Amino acid sequence: MPLAHLDRPFDYLVSTGDDEAAQPGVRVKVRFAGQLVSGFLLARAERSEHEGKLAYLEKVVSAEQVLDPEVARLARAVADRYAGNLADVLRLAVPPRHARVEAQAASPPDPAGSAPPPEPAAPAGPAPSPGDAVVDVVEPAAGGWDAYLAGAGFLRALEEGRAPRAVWSALPGEDWPLRIAEAAAATVRGGRGVVIVVADARDLDRVDQALGAVLGAGRHVALNAAVGPAERYRRFLKASRHQVPVVAGTRAAMWAPAPTLGLVVIWDDGDDLHAEPRAPYPHARDVLLTRAQLAECAALVGGFARTGEGQLLLETGWAKEIAAPRPVLRERSPAISPTGDDSQLARDPGAVSARLPALAWQAARQALQADAPVLVQVPRRGYLPAIACAECRTPARCPHCSGPLGLHGARDVPVCHWCGRASAAFACPVCEGRRLRASVTGARRTAEELGRAFAGAPVRTSGRDEILTTVPAEAAVVVATPGAEPVADGGYGAVLLLDTWALLSRSDLRAAEETMRRWLNAAALARPGSAGGRVIVVADASLAPVQALLRWDPGWFAARELAERRELGFPPAARMASVTGQTAAVSELLSLARLGDDVEVLGPVPATDDQERMLLRVSRSRAAELAHALHEAAAVRSARKAALTVRVQVDPADLF
């Protein structure tokens, strides 16, 4: 049940007619408080500890065992960790039922390259193990995992059925989907299953293709919401029936069942898409690490950048580092240079019109002359997201609601970002000036400026409206927002990181870490320095993120960030929980929670117009006690039928 005070299993009798179908993991209907509700059968027992009268199951909805026992244990652990309810976690873990799909005896081949495995010659006998399904697996490519100090040993441990745990710092230009597929193949050869989680559909498509090339058709499924509910459920059933040994997907795939789980993989764990926006708000990285702990299986946390959480895994000894030696790193890395900002623009008219410092403009021009594409990363989308008075620099505000004004195009009138109204007759309230200037330049305006600066070179944009997947190896300028950078055949000749102040100046605990992640992800798409690849970052060279980028040393930067957070008592060095709601509701919950003396209460701070937010901080060793106390308090309010809701988040992504 979704109510906190009913967050426990309930016992029911099973009739003789339902005995065969009523197996752990099936969907059922039961009477609860006079209402017919849905649930999952968790376990069968000979007797019940309940002393009262038991009701019978109303109906076994389907004999399909969609809730794997291993996933059920994981769901309970995640609910406890995040002070949530098991019902909310199961809603995330098991997709909605499609009866027609369940009724199909065999699924037809799907476009993800996940055709059903061949039927065994004899219907009787034990089900094949994951290792039995793999024949003619492609061996790891030379220069792949063996380029890392512990890479070959990691694959060997997977193939031998051991449970290594690693934090992987990928090399620039690395074909990381292929490396993940090779790790999955080694695990499958060891007779175990694999769950792989990536941030978005573009990454999933690349992993899907790599798995098909390494494992062959019919040995994995890709769980993607874009294929539609029915097709996604069909692929989920292949995993729950243990017809395929490998499951890949976006965030929801962290719950995917796998036969004899041997490896969990998460790529780019710092991406905010890995954070579940629905209660109890679990993070994919933490769910997979919890799963590895419970299943005693291997874990791989990979990325070009490294988060504070990944660094903590290394410093506590829970995981080992997989990184390349410095000579290999220097050979694979592009040439990276910092340069000044707008105050150091070149006098060349083309550079001035494109807002590019001389070094960045020259690097782009040389790459285009060499018939290589150029990537320009701009942190803001749109045309001119923010404008100001050209005379006194006062930010332009809407005369109706005081919201910020912006421009959608060169010939458009200012439009409010809050109410959407146009303000054609703008007048500055301070100096009464009517001319406007750009405060923040978006990707589309940058593309327009670059088109004038590099006449003759095609300019393409990749962002929210249209995200490019790949671009050919020819002279072109690609302007992309972070996370939307397409992969270039052979790599980019130059990568320009513009408007870096917009990332570094955010009032966020993870501003520097997120900046580092976005820069490294873009810089990794450049060609090696020996092949002419260059990366120009428009920022002060003395900044720590810039220094880490110049040396391509995400480990040093992550260790520095973690040390600062440990000193200040911020996650992941400490555990925090946020309690958000109206003042009376937040006060009631905190008064009911049996918080220990070591719990530090911070706040309140305004959350919205009528809500406030309190932060609770404890050491990592007391995190389970804090989550339990908050869940108990929520249960008391639930039993009292409190009218005002309170949102409880453990380890929220945003603290400020």
DSSP 465-484: S----EE-SSSEEEEE-TT-
Greatest alpha-carbon span in the chain = 87
The 3-state DSSP class for residue 523 equals helix
Q: CA-CA distance, 284 to 275, in Å (whole number)?
A: 6
The 3-state DSSP class for residue 570 equals coil
Q: CA-CA distance, 529 to 35, in Å (whole number)?
A: 68
CB distance 165 to 319 below 8 Å: yes
> What letter represents residue 222's amino acid?
A
Q: At what angle do helices 69-81 and 86-93 cross, to 10 degrees?
A: 130
For the chain, which ranges sit under pLDDT 70?
105-139, 340-355, 381-387, 393, 408-411, 417, 437-448, 507, 656
What is the length of the chain? 656
pLDDT of residue 126: 40
Sole residue written with tokens 């990366």: 535
Q: Give the CA angle between residues 266, 196, 223 to the nearest 5°.
A: 125
Q: CA-CA distance, 79 to 85, in Å (whole number)?
A: 5
Q: Which DSSP string do the residues of 583-651 spell out, in sequence order? A: HHHHHHHHHHS---TTPEEEEEEE-SSS-EEEEEEEEGGGHHHHHHHHHHHHHHHHHTT-SS-EEEEES
pLDDT of residue 653: 80
pLDDT of residue 543: 92
Nearest to 308 by CA among 625, 565, 62: 565
DSSP state of 138: P
pLDDT of residue 427: 83
pLDDT of residue 142: 76
For the record, the structure tokens of 601 come out as: 């209460």
Q: What is the C-alpha end-to-end distance of the chain, expressed in Å?
A: 32
DSSP H or E run through 91: helix 86-93
pLDDT of residue 523: 97
The CA distances from residue 501 to 353, 378, 437, 498, 545, in Å, are 19, 11, 18, 9, 12
pLDDT of residue 21: 95
pLDDT of residue 145: 96
pLDDT of residue 351: 44
Provide CB contacts within 8 A for 549, sequence distance 6+. 336, 516, 519, 520, 523, 535, 537
pLDDT of residue 401: 74
CB distance 332 to 171 below 8 Å: yes
280-310 core/surface letters (b: 16 or more CB in 10 A; e: else): bbbbbbbbbbbbbeebebbbbbbbbbbbbbb
In angstroms, what is the C-alpha Rg of the chain? 27
The CA distances from residue 613 to 82, 114, 279, in Å, are 17, 46, 17
pLDDT of residue 439: 55
Q: Which DSSP string do the residues of 45-81 spell out, in sequence order? A: -S--S--SPPPBP-EE--S---S-HHHHHHHHHHHHH
pLDDT of residue 443: 58
The 3-state DSSP class for residue 451 equals helix
